Amino acid sequence: MDGPRRHILKTFRTERAWRVPRPPPPLTLPLRSMVSARKGHFVTAEQPVPQPVPAPLTAAAIFLVLTIDPGGEAAVRDVLSDWASLERAVGFRAPEPRLACIAGIGSPAWDRLFSGPRPAELHPFGELAGTVHRAVSTPGDLLFHIRHERMDLCFEFVTQVMSRLAGAATVADEVHGFRYFDERDLLGFVDGTENPVDGAAARAALVGAADPDFAGGSYVIVQKYLHDMAAWNALATEDQEKVIGRSKLSDIEMPDDVKPANSHVALNTIEDPDGTYYAGYAATPSVTEQMLTHMFIGNPPGNYDRILDFSTAVTGSLYFAPSADFLDDLPDPPDPPDPPDPAVQPSTSATPDTGSLGIGSLKRSNQA
């Protein structure tokens, strides 16, 4: 295959399935200042501390997508500014491994919460309509991705956060994930074989010098898929392998001259009521968007990902997970809107209220 592969740090999560975590990467201390052992003085590290996006996968997780209620912006800002202290307070009860909590903000919510610049590539998730399948775009202002080896810690963190957001935000989608056998998803195949690890994971997932105001952050696209398990299980193993592009038992990728062009592996490689939850972190959303375009539109157009004949996307949204430093020191909130001009009288040309409910067959007749 010509040219290097471009990666996103992706996690497939299921309501019944979970992946075995990889060994943790070498420990790095996210300190702003470090002591020089040779000269005994402090030097300042310029790289912002990220949220735990590249942290190892875990046995349990909770994904929450929320919408911010009108007037709820102050409560949301308060939770985001206390995000790290909440993580420490809950995680202190079971310090190993670390409780990993990530907060992402959607494009419409960003301008409701913060003044000043915004991430260069943050925008609403764009719907993709292919000739057969569709990647839908669904509402979402906030994404909370909480993971640990123990579900009780994930649950406790979410409980604390949601108690503070009562009346300020509404849950639009909630998914609980847990480990499912030997790194396999509900379709029975090993998942995430090509995920980058260690330093490569950070390079793939975190914004760098291209957007210095938001270095250390990450773009994340999330989707929930529902599988037609009866139709999938009716396929012979050999046919399932052609859909995925890998051996089901050994997880070995098929050679290029054997692998079908519409297999999941082929269309997920970027050059230069059972369900799966997909979360893809990347330094630029364009990488994930190109992958989804290949899946739903096809590469070339019409050659869509065969896995979509069995898996239907029912949600889709895009967020920016800023650095931990950003959350510790939030920008000022936006200026409040100007009050209405009292000299401008409201229009009185609207149709008078007739008492009708105005919803089709429930309309009430005004006739005697």
Do 226 and 314 meet the contact criterion of CB atoms below 8 Å apart? yes
- Sequence-distant (≥ 6) Cβ neighbours of residue 28 within 8 angstroms: none
Measured distance CA(87)–CA(100) in Å, rounded: 8
- Sequence-distant (≥ 6) Cβ neighbours of residue 233 within 8 angstroms: none
Do 44 and 233 meet the contact criterion of CB atoms below 8 Å apart? no
- Sequence-distant (≥ 6) Cβ neighbours of residue 135 within 8 angstroms: 127, 128, 129, 223, 292, 295, 296, 313, 316
Residue 111 designated active-site = no
Among 191, 211, 274, 341, the one annotated catalytic: 191
Q: At what angle do helices 83-91 and 73-81 cross, to 10 degrees?
A: 50
Measured distance CA(105)–CA(143) in Å, rounded: 6
Cis peptide before 97 (omega within 30 of 0): yes
Do 313 and 134 meet the contact criterion of CB atoms below 8 Å apart? yes
Q: What are the residue numbers of the active site?
A: 191
